[in-house]
Structure 1
Amino acid sequence: QRSELDPDHSIIGSEDCLYLNVYRPKRDSTELLPVMVYIHGGGYFYGSADPAIYGPERILATQQVLLVTIQYRLGVFGFLSTGDAVVPGNAGMHDQVLALKWVQRHIRSYGGDPQLVTIFGESAGGASVQFHMISPLSRSLFHKAIIMSGSALAAWSLPIDDPLALARRQAKLVGVSEADELSTTELADVLRYIDGKVLAASAPHLRSWFEHPIVLYRPVIEHKSVPEAERFLPDDPRRLWTEGYLVDVPLLIGTVPEDGAVVSLPILHNETVLQELNENFVKLFPTLLALNGTPDVVNQIKKRYFTGSSPMITKENSQQLTKLLTDAFIKYPVYLTQLEYINATSREQTTQYSFEFVGRHSFSSLYSQSNESHGVVHQDELIYLFRMPELFSDFPDDSAEAKMSSLWTEFIVSFASKSQPIDRVEKVTFKNAVPPSDDTSALISRDSGLDTEMLDVIAFWDKIYNSSYIAYH
């Protein structure tokens, strides 16, 4: 894979990647503990279960659960498909299923309870959790789910129109000039001979503008020629989720305020790219948002996010680009996921969180290559759940960050380890205490989950995507 955290984007990792980590707290009791299985994000093309980034210490300190972090094949290696039974696709998702089966078979030997497994993930890892909720291959492998700032219903995660065309483009990029004439079997054979580092390095060249579309390889609907018992994703995830073809397990779901910064900051901090977007917004619209950029759709979005500004995106209103991308890519699909989950399952007890705590560390420094503050951005909530010694220094023991880390970790772990349900649809917000206070209750607020902002975002983007969505192809 290409390193997304390294400015030089060097090729790192190995094709020999199917490993998992099992962490258990030190304790004398022989009682089996609930198990939490973490699926990392990274757009299905980047990431790992490296303990230098997903350190287990904070979760283990609760003494309440075992933690398992898993890896799966990524990018072209995990999600290439020829659209038939030759290379059905979803290899990375099948890797995740295999890891969950391993947990069922072996976790008891480590002191874990195979009947109390919670799967959780962030970004594409969160979308993966949702895919497992609708996949017939994952049923009975887990018992609770936590979706963090990701969704299988997001435009960046929905199946592409023509995976075979993408496979042929990929082959041509690495020198297979006759790719269009090859049968799918011949195409697969040729690609298997290509050096893995060459394939990984070539993938970004499939993008049509700057870093977009960000997610090229992703889960696909497996072809009818694939035996039914082997299909991870048998149909469109939107239909499966909306019509209730999902496993009815307790769900915790949430976002952070500036999730879209992972997409907006690289644009805003590159003057050339920002100018291109301002000058060619209608043309770049489908690439950026997976939408047909008709004048009506463009005007609706401009009116909502950039009223009267010329150029459209300026230094003064740059936060609006982050808001637009947060709403379109994360909040809309996440809110829709929760609302349709409630409707499909008649499960009135769900919790939505909003992590709004601003601390000394932020992934924005990596997205923008600067020290400017951009609020709480995509992945920032993970800094308080996992130790990340490779990226950020530890918090001082008596700091507000350490206090928030304890509260946040306890909240996430308690969902997995405790059985008492809440009695309503609830929203839990984690934030900075104003004024600063030693009272930890000042850091958390609880409200009704289905608020007007949530319903407004759903209504606007439902109308936009239902009329103008263009699947990546």
Structure 2
Amino acid sequence: MAKVLLNTLFILITLKTGIKCNESHQRVRRLVGAEPANNVDPVVYVRFNGRAARVEGTRDFPNYVFKGIKYAQPPVGAGRFLRPKEKFLEGEVNATVYPPPCIQPAPGRTNTVIGNEDCLALNIFTPDLPTGTEGLPVIVWIHGGGFRYGSASQYGVRHLVGQRLVVVTIQYRLGSLGFLSSGSKHLPGNAALWDMALAVQWIRNYIGFFGGNPHRIVVMGHDTGASSALLLSLTKIAKGMPNAIVAMSGTAVSRWAIDNTPSDTAQQIAEENGCPTGNAVTMVKCLQKVPAESIVKGDSRIEFQHLQSRGFVTGLNGRLGTAPVSEGSNDGRSLPGMVEIDPVESMYKQENPKIPLLTGVTKDETTKAVKGQFKSDILKQLKSVPNFLNKVLVENLHNSSVLSKLSGKLGNIAQTGQNITSSLLSNGANALEGLGNSLQLNFENYLKAKQNDIEENLQKISEATADALFNVPAFLQAQLWKGAPTYLYSFEHSGNMHRGFSFLQGLPIVGNASSTETNSNDTVGHGDELSYLFDAHDLEGNPLPTNEPTEDDLKVRNFFTQMIADFARHGEFKIDNKKVPSFNLGENNFVQIKPEPILANKFKFCEMALWTNIGDRLKSNSCQFLKALESGVSKNLGKVQDLGSLVPGWNSQSPNKNPLGGILGSSGQQSVKSQKSNPLGIIG
């Protein structure tokens, strides 16, 4: 309470009725922090950093809404690609209109660009203006969209606000305008992550004016928004700002989270726009003068080229354009980096903040794309490529998933001796370097399908791609997050409100809105859970048509929003009045979100063991149906030292003591032997 009183003295909030005259000089009553009333526009007076402002919002009864508030200076001209500069509130602020979306391709319209480069704004939704208490928990929403699409105004948040939460939806630069990096000090990258960090800082400074608690901020996102939320939590720049993280269908160890070859994309973008590539300074200055529309169109051409050359797995994984990068300890200008080291390495060293994490997936993350947009390409490969499923596809998924990145990172850690004893260095470095090249597990039974059964083959591909690209990262993220409660969920409700394509238009993974599979109520695809938390709007904030919810839909919405609200308030939640325990590798406990939610164990138990090579589990009776260690694999086990035994504290009888989180089990390492050629050109 002392903090609240001091904050109240420092931040002047007027809590009385304001009087204003309209054009006819009639008095119009406007409420400032008073009890809710209909048809009354809220006005908030603030003073911060020596600046005073009068902020006028609107009512979405019973809530207060403040739209399009600029938190940063326009990132245009010489400010393009650079870190954002904070914009403080002062003077008269009209917060009654949604901001234009950040400039991006128009979904479904070829060679068309919409939005504005001057777009760094946020929307605030609150059930109460300040009442003298400590304020309500705050959710900061980071939209997904493959780093290329989306806006803050797409998400109607009344269901979350109805749980007595303040919700702030933010915008950040997209595509190359937000993430282009040459890997040098002249274009270090991560401008959009800096946008997000500045937005969270702005919210912490100002949210007390709008009824929020600046000391209870939960950063929440979906898809690339989820991986960004986790990257924010891991950076020293935002240390102490998030109090918890909600990551939906995306993690910091997802393959799209970090671009390891950013300079290649930067050169492509420069060439697309006629800029020189020999000198980084000249290239940046040239790109700063190119019309923003040209850069967005260049991004689209490169994305199309990558999709054609790398294939459907890369499309499902979102590795098509610019993304966050690891900058190192500084960006070459003696300035701190946003992402100093790869998040895999950071969490292996247990450097994650000790704050609660809630992460999860949908039941059928990739099904709509596999059976929709990519169906014809997949069928051609099934017909023309021998052993496509258990050879080509598995290798492709391994190379495109977090597993290949883990291999390299753990090898590097072993070489440098970071957090690994001399025993491990002397005995395990070579083995770690070879992770992914020594053994081949048998995926045949995992992918077994009748050769001529198209639907069964497509279903197996859906399951395998969902496991490798979404379920494995969620599983590993939950295990690598140390020192704080961690919760895993699977959204499994097949209802009448699936609207993933409404929120994520433009992304290959959501399929086409008109396709049969996209509209199937039996499939719970990527983004379909969003409509149970949010109302779907277009990029400008206009409501989109929705289906009438069923009774079960309403049950799921009530549980899901309550779960998020409880997690935001307490860092934990309950099912049937029983506290949900933190994720445990031995139990693989998770929440199944259904009309009657279930606290279950063994999340994809054997599948996760296969992909991450938890050897003891693969040998167990419950996983014998996979026969993963057969076909010549088991006889080779003795040739490779047990990597798990080389890790300090590992005990095969107590898997939770394994600091690698079960990635390396008693059977050695998991891999797929590389082929000498790639006739399909799909391995990205």
Structure 1 stretches of 5 or more lacking a match? 433-442
- Would the aligned equivalents of 1:155 and 1:289 in 2 still touch at CA under 8 Å? no
Name the SS of the counterpart of 2:182 in structure 1: coil
**Alignment of 1:370 onto 2:523:** no
1:325 maps to 465
Distance 1:389 1:82, change over 3 A: closer
Distance 1:370 1:304, change over 3 A: same
Cα separation, 1, equivalents of 2:282 and 2:393 = 35
- Match for residue 265 of structure 2 among 163, 166, 177: 166
- Would the aligned equivalents of 2:137 and 2:166 in 1 still touch at CA under 8 Å? yes
**CA RMSD, aligned part only?**
3.3
For 1:325-361, what per-residue CA distance to the aligned partner results, in whole angstroms no more than 9, with x for missing partners? 11111110111010111xx32x4x3321111111113
Amino acid at match of 1:307: K
Cα separation, 2, equivalents of 1:267 and 1:397 = 27
Amino acid at match of 1:361: M
1:200 maps to 296
Post-superposition offset of 1:202: 1.8
1:58 maps to 159
2:136 maps to 33
The 5-angstrom pairing of residues 143-182 of structure 1 reads: 143-161=243-261, 163-176=262-275, 179-180=276-277, 182=278
Amino acid at match of 2:494: V
Post-superposition offset of 1:418: 3.1
The 5-angstrom pairing of residues 239-278 of structure 1 reads: 239-261=345-367, 263-269=369-375, 271-272=376-377, 274-276=379-381
Post-superposition offset of 1:402: 2.3
- Would the aligned equivalents of 2:356 and 2:571 in 1 still touch at CA under 8 Å? no
For 1:167-217, what per-residue CA distance to the aligned partner results, in whole angstroms no more than 9, with x for missing partners? 1111112334xx34x210011112122221121112133233336453321
Name the SS of the counterpart of 2:123 in structure 1: strand
Cα separation, 2, equivalents of 1:99 and 1:408 = 26
1:109 maps to 209
- Would the aligned equivalents of 1:332 and 1:457 in 2 still touch at CA under 8 Å? no
1:96 maps to 196
Distance 1:125 1:222, change over 3 A: same
- Match for residue 393 of structure 1 among 529, 535, 545: 545
Provide the identity percentage.
24
For 1:16-41, what per-residue CA distance to the aligned partner results, in whole angstroms no more than 9, with x for missing partners? 11111110014784431111111111
Cα separation, 2, equivalents of 1:464 and 1:2 = 40
- Match for residue 379 of structure 1 among 521, 527, 534: 527
For 1:222-255, what per-residue CA distance to the aligned partner results, in whole angstroms no more than 9, with x for missing partners? 1544356531001111100111111110111111
**Alignment of 1:69 onto 2:169:** yes
Post-superposition offset of 1:272: 4.6
Name the SS of the counterpart of 1:35 in structure 2: strand
2:422 maps to none
- Would the aligned equivalents of 2:244 and 2:571 in 1 still touch at CA under 8 Å? no
For 1:78-118, what per-residue CA distance to the aligned partner results, in whole angstroms no more than 9, with x for missing partners? 11001111011000100000001001111111111110111
- Would the aligned equivalents of 2:326 and 2:342 in 1 still touch at CA under 8 Å? yes
For 1:359-381, what per-residue CA distance to the aligned partner results, in whole angstroms no more than 9, with x for missing partners? 11324666133133251111111
Cα separation, 2, equivalents of 1:331 and 1:296 = 23
Given the two structures, how large is their TM-score scaled by the length of structure 1? 0.84
Structure number with bigger Rg: 2
Cα separation, 1, equivalents of 2:159 and 2:184 = 44
Q: Which structure exhibits the higher relative contact order, with contacts defined as CA atoms closer than 8 Å and separated by 6 or more residues?
A: 1
2:447 maps to 306
- Would the aligned equivalents of 1:2 and 1:46 in 2 still touch at CA under 8 Å? yes
Distance 1:90 1:362, change over 3 A: same
Residues paired across the two proteins, number: 445
Name the SS of the counterpart of 1:323 in structure 2: helix
1:427 maps to 590
1:403 maps to 555
Amino acid at match of 2:360: G
Cα separation, 2, equivalents of 1:308 and 1:420 = 41
Distance 1:285 1:467, change over 3 A: closer
Cα separation, 2, equivalents of 1:276 and 1:297 = 27
Post-superposition offset of 1:407: 1.7
Distance 1:287 1:87, change over 3 A: farther
**Alignment of 1:445 onto 2:604:** no
- Would the aligned equivalents of 2:226 and 2:250 in 1 still touch at CA under 8 Å? yes
- Would the aligned equivalents of 1:363 and 1:378 in 2 still touch at CA under 8 Å? no
- Would the aligned equivalents of 2:371 and 2:458 in 1 still touch at CA under 8 Å? no
2:148 maps to 45
Deviates more, 1:193-202 or 1:75-84: 193-202
Name the SS of the counterpart of 1:208 in structure 2: helix
- Would the aligned equivalents of 2:138 and 2:217 in 1 still touch at CA under 8 Å? yes
Distance 1:10 1:302, change over 3 A: farther
Amino acid at match of 1:36: I
Deviates more, 1:189-198 or 1:377-386: 189-198
2:476 maps to 336
Deviates more, 1:82-91 or 1:189-198: 189-198
Deviates more, 1:223-232 or 1:16-25: 223-232
**Alignment of 1:186 onto 2:282:** yes
- Would the aligned equivalents of 2:368 and 2:511 in 1 still touch at CA under 8 Å? yes
1:440 maps to none
